[in-house]
Amino acid sequence: MKKLYALLVVLISVLLLAACGDESGGDDDTLTIGISLPSATHGWMGALIDSAENKAKEIEENEGIEYVMTNAADPNQQANDVEDLITQGVDVIVMLPIESAALSPVGQKVKDEGIPLVIVDRELENDAATVVVKGDNEGIGVNAGKYFIDKLNGEGKVVEITGPPSSVTEQRGAGFEEAMENEEGIEVIASQSGDFSTETSLQVMQNILQAHEQIDAVFTQDDGMALGVVQAIKEAERDDIQFVTGAGGAKEVFESIRDGGLISATFLYSPTMVENGVEIAAELAKGEEPEETEVILDATEITDGNVEEFYDPDSKF
C-alpha cells in the first residue's frame, strides 16, 4: 500500500506540473520572426537594418511576436545564418539576399521546411518566396534612361556604375538599356560594378576617368556609389561631366540636388521598405494568408523641382 500511495503522489505531482505548464502557455506558443540581412556596408543598408529592428521591436511590444536578427558579411555566412534560423524553429523568415543566385538554394530549403519566406529588395532565382517586397528596380533604370535622353538631348558618352550580381542590378541595368536602346547618339562607353559601395565606386571611377578623356554623364545604380563617383571626379578635377544620377534617396544626395551639385537626380528606393516586409512576416507567422505576393514601391524621380518635398534633415540615411 505504501508503494501504491507513493506512486499516486508522484503521478499527481506530474499531472499538476503539466497543468501549470498549460496555463502559462509555454515557450512553444511564442511566435518568432527570423530576419536575415547583410551587414551595414553602406548608408542605405544601415538605414534598412535600423528600420527592420525598430519595426520588429514594435511588433514584439504590441503583439508579443519575438524576433531573431542576423547580419552577414558574405553569401556563405548568410546561408549559414538562414539554416540556423530554420534549426531554431522560427515561424517565418525575412531575408534580403546578399546575392540572388547564391542565396536561392537556402531559400528553397526554407520553403521545403514549410516556413513562410518574405524576400526584401533583391529577389531569388526561384519561387521560394511567399511574398516579395521591393522597389521598382526596372522603373529606376527606365526613369534614369529617360532623364539622360532629356538632359543630353539624345547625344553623349555615358558611364554606368552597377551593383553586385543580383536581381536589383540586373533590373536597373535592363531598364536603363531599354530606355535608351533607340538613342543612337548616346553611347555607354564603360559599365563596371561599384558593388553598392562608396569606396569601391571611387576606385572604379578613378580608373574609368584615366581611360576616357571625354565623359558627359554617369548613371549609378545607388546613391552611395554616386557619392564615390563624384569624389573621384572632383579629385581628378574633371569638368567635362555634366551630371551624375543615383538611386535610393540619401540625405547627402538630396542636398546635392537641392544645392545644384553634380548629382542632379535620384530615384526613390527607400530602405523603409523592409518595414512592410516585417509587418507581412508577422501576419504570416500568425497563419494568415498574404493579401498579395508582390509589393512594389514607386521609383519616383527626385530633381531640384521636388526635392524639398522628400528631404528630411533628420534622416539617418
The domain limits of the chain are 31-135+271-297, 137-269+304-310
Q: Where are the alpha helices (DSSP H) in the chain?
A: 2-24, 43-63, 75-88, 100-112, 137-152, 167-180, 198-211, 223-235, 251-258, 273-285, 307-310
Q: Cell triple for residue 157?
A: 558618352
pLDDT band at 47 (very low <50, low <70, confident <90, very high): confident
Within 10 Å of residue 40's Cβ, how many Cβ atoms? 14
Question: If you average pLDDT over residues 182-191, what whole number do you get?
Answer: 91
Sequence-ordered list of residues with C-beta below 8 angstroms from that of 145, at least 6 positions apart, any chain: 175, 176, 177, 178, 179, 180, 219
Per-residue pLDDT, 10: 42
Question: If you average pLDDT over residues 41-70, what whole number do you get?
Answer: 91
Q: What is the CATH number of domain 137-269+304-310?
A: 3.40.50.2300
Question: If you average pLDDT over residues 116-120, what whole number do you get?
Answer: 96
The region of weakest confidence among 93-97, 271-275, 284-288 is 271-275
Is the domain 31-135+271-297 a CATH 3.90.1570.10 member? Answer: no
Per-residue pLDDT, 41: 73
pLDDT band at 16 (very low <50, low <70, confident <90, very high): very low
Task: Report the percentage of the chain scoring pLDDT > 90.
Answer: 72
pLDDT band at 42 (very low <50, low <70, confident <90, very high): confident
d(CA 154, CA 160) in angstroms, rounded, equals: 16
| Distances from the Cα of 148 to the Cα of 201, 216, 244, angstroms | 20, 10, 10
pLDDT band at 127 (very low <50, low <70, confident <90, very high): very high
Per-residue pLDDT, 152: 94
Instruction: Tell me how far apart the terminal alpha carbons of the chain are, to the nearest angstrom.
Output: 76
Higher per-residue confidence, 183 vs 144: 144
Any idea which residue has 531573431 for its cell?
A: 68
d(CA 315, CA 313) in angstroms, rounded, equals: 6
Give CB contacts under 8 A, 24+ apart, made by 24-28. none
Per-residue pLDDT, 28: 58
Per-residue pLDDT, 23: 37
* Average model confidence (pLDDT) across the chain: 88
CB 150 within 8 A of CB 257: no
